Amino acid sequence: MLTEGYIYDVLREALRIAVTISAPVLIAALVTGVSIGLFQALTSIQEMTLTFVPKLVAMLAVFWMSMNFMTQSLIDFFQSTIITSIAGG
C-alpha cells in the first residue's frame, strides 16, 4: 500500500532525476553565456544575436550528446519505481 512517506520519497527521487537530467544543458548554457558575455565586455560589442545563437547551439549540442543518458535515467526510474508502484509491488 502506498503511504505518505513512500509518495514523498518517490517525489524526491523524481525531482533529483529532473535536476540530474537538466544539469548538462543548463551548465552548457551558463558556460556559453558567461564566455560570450566576457567576450562582449572585452570587445564592447553589444549584439543580442551574439549571445543567443551560440547559447542555443551549445544547448542543442549538449542535449544531443546527453540524450542517451537522459533517456536511460528516465527509463530506469519508471521501471524501478513507478511501474512497480502501479503493479502493487
Q: Which residues contact 46 (CB under 8 A, 6 or more apart)?
A: 40
Q: How many other CB atoms are found less than 10 A from the CB of residue 64? A: 9
Of 59, 73, 67, which is closest to residue 18 (Cα–Cα)? 73
User: What grid cell was written down for 86?
Assistant: 502501479
**pLDDT of res. 17:** 97
What does the pLDDT profile of the chain (89 residues) look like in tens digits? 678 999 999 999 999 999 999 999 999 999 999 999 999 889 888 887 788 899 999 999 999 999 999 999 999 999 998 898 888 76
User: What grid cell was written down for 48?
Assistant: 543580442
0.85 surpassed by pTM: no
d(CA 25, CA 31): 10
